[in-house]
Amino acid sequence: CYRKGGYHAVRVGDTFSGGRYVAQRKLGWGQFSTVWLAYDTQTSKYVALKIQKSAPEFAQSALHEIQVLSTLTENDPENKKCVIRLLDHFKHTGPNGQHLCMVLEFLGDSILQLIRYNRYKGLPLNKVREICKCILTALDYIHRELNILHTDLKPENILLISTINPSKDPIKSKTEPVLNKVEGNVNGGVALNAIEKKLKQRAKRAVARISARRISMGGVKAEKAERCVDGIDFRCKVVDFGNACWASAPMAEEIQTRQYRAPEVVLQSGYSFAVDMWSFACTAFELATGEMMFAPKPGQGFSEDEDHLALMMELLGKIPRKIAVGGLRSKEYFDRYGDLKRIRRIKNTPLNRLLSDKFKLSVNDAREFADFLIPILDFAPENRPTAEQCLKHPWLNKTPESGIDKVDGVG
């Protein structure tokens, strides 16, 4: 919706902030924004330019995001906390109104794309560990030091750190209008004149160059990426703080993306930092297996929420009665004994069994990984370990050479 109050239509070569940033290509988009790769002519570096829709409600949420991101960046001067950095922000006036723009450090693909490149088979456990350490470092930082909840943690919002800084031949400025997108086609079917064609080719070359240098990032074929998965230094950062809030001022009742939503949010029993820990465990499982831990669907005679609660109990055992009946929405789903009203006969498969039987982890790996995850999936949020506690867990600090792996199959 490139209209009043909507997205700002960007063309390759468009400039922002008095000519400082030059748009190169589109990186992605969300509900409220489009994100562009841009060249910063002042620092000669690439950045990600997040351009918010212009309507007042979007501007409001962008201001909030800027406030959170500034806090994250200011309190991490050494850039060690695995969270996205805000480099600059400004207002840009276009035909659809005034847009708040955030200049972010340029990162690579999300770990969801990584899972896709790996054909949903799951990543090797030593890679999962590295990614888990980054996520937990970020969570420990925002929870313990800043009192901030992310509330939308999921593979899509964990981006790999880009190993490239393409410094040669960026598109420096616009000479003629070109198609909005290099891949895909937002403007649709417009005949290209000679200059547009030339610019488009140039943009394509730039994309190709970037792709060639990126390891397992946009534009790389699956097989190639699959071979790459082993060679990547798996450092990543947590992004998208658009829904983050201070623990002292929770914003919405319904938070988190469905599949990563904690039981206390489904039941509306109040929430805090432990919701991010739940999403973290779901994310770690997905990294290791390539499949979502919980993918609820509404069915005949029951809702998506009820299916979700049933799936949780299949994997984690029965929700303790006190917790089951303790939320604002409990009465809709549970009887007074703490049994689901509309879904009966729940068959429990313990996590370690699922990991070894369905996902073919060795018995030892499955047990150790489950031992790490199960406490984080406690139905009682106050019993879940904090990010700080998780960081000390032996599973995270285990290396393949530590000997524990080699015992597998012997004992």
Comparison of 100 and 274: residue with beta carbon closer to ligand ADP: 100
By beta carbon distance, the residue nearest ligand ADP is 30
CA distances from 6 to 15, 61, 315 (A): 19, 14, 43
Q: Give Cα separations from 225 to 58, 78, 113, 155, 183 (angstroms).
A: 36, 31, 10, 17, 19
Restricted to residues 238-257, the positions that interact with Mg ion (CB under 5 A) are 240
Tell me the backbone φ, ψ of residue 26, rounded to 5 degrees: -80, 135
- Which range binds Mg ion by CB under 5 A, 106-114, 192-200, 209-217, 234-242? 234-242
Q: CB under 6 A: which stretch of 25-33, 183-191, 194-202, 372-380 binds ligand ADP? A: 25-33
Residue of 32, 117, 280, 369 interacting with ligand ADP (CB under 6 A): 32
302: its two tokens: 């029951």
Backbone angles phi, psi at 193, to 5 degrees: -85, 175
Identify which of residues 27 and 351 has a Cβ nearer to ligand ADP in the complex: 27
Tell me whether residue 221 is annotated as binding.
no
Nearest residue to Mg ion, scored by beta-carbon proximity: 30
User: What is the three-class DSSP state of 2?
Assistant: coil
Look up residue 410 and give its two tokens: 């012997």
What is the contact mask toward Mg ion in residues 63 to 102, using x (rule: CB under 5 A)? ----------------------------------------
Q: Which is nearer to ligand ADP, 23 or 104 (CB)?
A: 104
Between the two ends of the chain, the Cα-to-Cα distance in Å is 61
For helices 363-373 and 274-289, what crossing angle results, to 10°?
Answer: 160
Angstrom distance (rounded) from CA 202 to CA 197? 9
C-alpha 65, offset from chain centre: 16
Q: Does 31 bind ligand ADP (CB under 6 A)?
A: yes
Which one from 140, 152, 276, 378 is the annotated catalytic residue?
152
Residue 238 in contact with ligand ADP, rule: CB under 6 A? no
Q: What is the DSSP string of 144-158?
A: IIT-EE----SGGGE
Task: Give the separation between CA 224 and CA 162, rounded to whole angstroms.
Answer: 17
The three-state secondary structure class of 201 is helix
E-assigned strand segments in 106-177: 148-149, 158-160
Our answer to whether residue 152 is catalytic in this structure is yes
- Which residues are CB-neighbours of 311 under 8 A, at least 6 positions away? 294, 295, 296
Candidates 27, 38, 132, 179; binder of ligand ADP (CB under 6 A) is 27
The least CB distance from residue 240 to Mg ion, in Å, is 4
Select from Mg ion, ligand ADP, none the partner in contact with residue 28, using the beta carbon and a kind-dependent cut-off of 5 to 8 Å.
ligand ADP
Nearer to ligand ADP, 27 or 225 (CB): 27
Segment lying near Mg ion (by CB under 5 A), choices 75-83, 187-195, 235-243, 388-396: 235-243
CA dist 54 and 100 (Å) reads: 7
CB atoms within 10 A of CB 216: 22
Number of neighbours of residue 4 by Cβ within 10 angstroms: 10
Instruction: Please identify, among the stretches 102-110, 117-125, 142-150, 264-272, the one whose residues bind ligand ADP according to the rule CB under 6 A.
Output: 102-110
Return all residues near 136 (Cβ < 8 A) that are at least 6 apart: 280, 387, 390, 391, 396
Q: Give yes or no for residue 29 binding Mg ion (CB under 5 A).
A: no
Using CB under 5 A as the binding rule, the residues of this chain from 353 to 392 that contact Mg ion are: none
Task: Kindly determine how many residues on this chain lie close enough to bind ligand ADP according to the rule CB under 6 A.
Answer: 20
> Does residue 215 bind ligand ADP (CB under 6 A)?
no
> Which of 38, 48, 66, 313 lies at the binding interface for ligand ADP (CB under 6 A)?
48
Exactly one of 14, 140, 240, 276 binds ligand ADP (CB under 6 A); that residue is: 240
Asked if 30 is part of the footprint of Mg ion (rule: CB under 5 A), the reply reads yes
| Binding flags for ligand ADP, 55-84, as an x/- string (CB under 6 A) | -----------------------------x
Distance (Å, whole) CA 361 – CA 94? 53
User: Interface with Mg ion by CB under 5 A: which range of 6-14, 197-205, 233-241, 286-294?
Assistant: 233-241
Q: Nearer Cβ to ligand ADP, position 102 or 377? A: 102
Which residues contact ligand ADP by CB under 6 A? Answer: 27-33, 35, 48, 50, 84, 104-107, 156, 159, 239-240, 242
Binding-site positions for ATP: 50
Enzyme catalytic residues: 152
Binding-site positions: 50
